[in-house]
Amino acid sequence: MDPFERVPLGGTGVTVTRLGMGLAPIGGLFEPVGDAAATATIDTAWDLGVRFFDTAPLYGAGLSERRAGAALRRRDRSAFTLATKVGRRLVPEQSGKDHAAGMWAEPSGASAVWDFSFSGVRLSYRESLARLGLDRADVLHLHDPDVHFGPAVAEALPALVELRKAGEIGAVSAGMNQSAMLTEFARTGAFDCFLLAGRYTLLDQSGLADLLPECARRGLSVIVGGVYNSGVLADPDRRAVYDYHPATARVINRTRALAKICGRHGVPLRAAALQFPLAHPAVASVLVGMRSAREAADAAAMARWEIPGRLWRDLIREGLLDPEVPHP
């Protein structure tokens, strides 16, 4: 697999590299990063060939967008694809108002509040562009509308469709940690692609039950995030976190079993976890969160790692992978 091959998103003219950079970590996710390290991380990913970058207002309450813009606006705008998100607007910091505030280790002076209204989406997008210092995003996701399905469909989605029609964005998307609602969105016929986080990994293939086949039938693309399920698939012994919570003994034991078989073939578990989703025909790209130049280099190395077919067959034989699940 060439991780830096550019492939289209659905029927749009937007293309993404098979390996994309998730920009939540440079917003100070759980640990401080700082401006210089954030720039160095993006620069390293760029030098290695990454041309797809995904951010959001939520990430560091604006820090990720500002840091991404500072690094990317020095580049030829036609050379990369940028995604950001709507559904949360930033307001002056309000203690207790931001449900995700505890995830971010660096102060930005802002808090995120829900807003899936038509006018709120338009305002949020303009504010994102101002933070980025860029004239457009290529992909605009509805961000985590789990309990906001009504306004997301009635107001936010028409706003995105209008932006696409005006040429202000290239692709309409939604990003969530669940596949069921994304499948409902797919059936509206208004979307070009989706960001599915944590639901199509070596530990959780629940997205295969609904979203992935629906997108394959409709010619829509899926971007898979959370390929390490918050860290446990990167290192079950040192980063026993699964979907942002401490991993259970069952998850850790299963992950160690996966790692043992990978080790038998001289393959890091990270490489198998990163490359696995790309075997599905609906999956265009995987996003890997990177907070340092070292992590950017590691992601590129894992994406390039040669994985023998015997490894996947062994996972199936040991009951760790369903034989019907596509694999590289």
User: What residues act catalytically?
Assistant: 54, 59, 85
Contacts with 236 (C-beta within 8 Å, 6 or more apart), sequence order? 247, 252, 255, 256, 259, 269
Residue type, 267: V
Go through the chain and tell me how many residues it has: 328
Four-residue CA torsion sign, 12, 170, 162, 67: positive
Q: Report the distance separating Cα 45 and Cα 290, nearest Å.
A: 9
Q: Report the distance separating Cα 255 and Cα 240, nearest Å.
A: 10
Q: Is residue 281 within 8 Å of residue 327, measured between CB atoms? A: no
Residue 265: exposure state from Cβ atoms within 10 A (0-12, 13-18, ≥19): middle
Instruction: Show the tokens assigned to 189.
Output: 């016929």
Q: Report the distance separating Cα 303 and Cα 309, nearest Å.
A: 16
Q: Is residue 156 within 8 Å of residue 118, measured between CB atoms? A: yes
Four-residue CA torsion sign, 115, 106, 130, 35: negative
Residue owning tokens 């990994």: 201
Helices (H), 221-292: 249-264, 269-275
Q: What is the bridge-based pairing of β-strands 171-176 and 193-197?
A: parallel
Neighbours of 182 (CB within 10 A): 28
Q: Is residue 223 within 8 Å of residue 286, measured between CB atoms? A: yes
Cα–Cα distances in Å, from 308 out to 250, 270, 322?
27, 15, 18
Four-residue CA torsion sign, 228, 231, 237, 241: negative
